Amino acid sequence: LKAGNFNSAVAMLILTVFLSALFVKNQYGEYAWSSFTIADGVYGSCFFMLTGLHGMHVMGGTSGLLYCLARMLARHFSS
């Protein structure tokens, strides 16, 4: 990779990891401040199950992005 492309790719990957961490933080806040529980009926069950599954998906993606960032910083990718 050229220096400009490499720096841009690293910057955008760091931004993506930051945004996914911000999402997880906000979702935790949403869980902590909610006025209902998973036992409150259909709405509570659907809310916690759907947003929880999406949050787990985002956390898995974030770990994959962190792995790619580490490999990119170690220059494991060819041009």
Taking the alpha carbons of 33, 34, 36, 38 in that order, is the dihedral positive or negative? negative
Residue where the block lists tokens 């509570």: 44
Whether the Cβ atoms of residue 3 and residue 27 lie closer than 8 Å to each other: no
pLDDT at 2: 67
Residue 72 in tokens: 């990119």
pLDDT at 77: 85
Q: Where are the domains of the chain?
A: 6-74
pLDDT at 47: 87
pLDDT in tens, the chain (79 residues): 567 788 999 999 999 999 999 999 998 898 888 888 888 889 888 888 888 899 899 999 999 999 999 999 999 987 7
